[in-house]
Structure 1
Amino acid sequence: MNQITETKTLKTFRWIAILEGISYIAFFITMPLKYMYEILMPNKIVGMVHGVLFIAYVVLALIVVIEQKWGIKRFLIFFVASLIPFATFYIERKYLRDR
């Protein structure tokens, strides 16, 4: 594993990875509210927050990969993780913590 240089961008990315994972879980919780009980507002709010965090996660992933001089493979791992529930928690723990 490549050495990690702790930067402000990396710290921000770590926090966004965690928050994006939490928002993904919250989004899954609000989906039944929307479709089973027709309660729309929580889904709209959580969906918007999740969307913003998702975009921030992907943009910061690209910036951190360039900043740390990691390859495209690492970016693709980060990107695929953003699509899988709970995977951003794994990414934060496995790839973003200094060893």
Structure 2
Amino acid sequence: MDMIRVFRLVSIAEAVSFLALLLIAMPLKYGAEAEVGVQLVGPIHGVLFMAYVGMVFLVRDALRWDLKRTVLALAAAVLPIAPFLVERQWARPPHAAGAPASSAP
């Protein structure tokens, strides 16, 4: 499995875990006084967050990201649905982004 594919999977998993934390675990904690959701989802999201940040640095050269796009991808980690957008719009191999596959070196 190549690094870009791993990054895309981590990006989706991080976004899903963030949404689960915000929309399920936190309301359970404060609405039903059930902290178990945060105790389970919180550490999972933390690991996925760190994996996402690390993967941004590992794939930035392969995806030909400049400093601005790298910083925006890192900032996306703190917004609930932004990693979905990074995965969908920016995490395509350079040959798939616009040039035909036959013209790739």
TM-score if structure 1 supplies the norm length?
0.86
In structure 1, runs of 5+ residues without a counterpart are: 1-6
In structure 2, runs of 5+ residues without a counterpart are: 98-105
Kindly provide the amino acid, as one letter, of the partner of residue 53 in structure 1.
L
**Where do 4+ consecutive residues of structure 1 move more than 3 Å?**
66-69
Question: How large is the RMSD of aligned CA atoms in angstroms?
Answer: 1.4
2:17 and 2:44 in contact (8 A); partners too: yes
2:15 and 2:80 in contact (8 A); partners too: yes
- In the alignment of these two chains, the number of paired residues is 93
> Which is higher, the Rg of structure 1 or of structure 2?
2
Tell me how far apart the structure 2 counterparts of residues 22 and 70 of structure 1 sit (CA, whole Å): 24
Name the structure, 1 or 2, with higher relative contact order (CA <8 Å, separation 6+): 1
TM-score if structure 2 supplies the norm length?
0.81
Percent identical residues: 37
Residues 65-76 of structure 1: matches in 2 within 5 Å?
Answer: 65-76=60-71
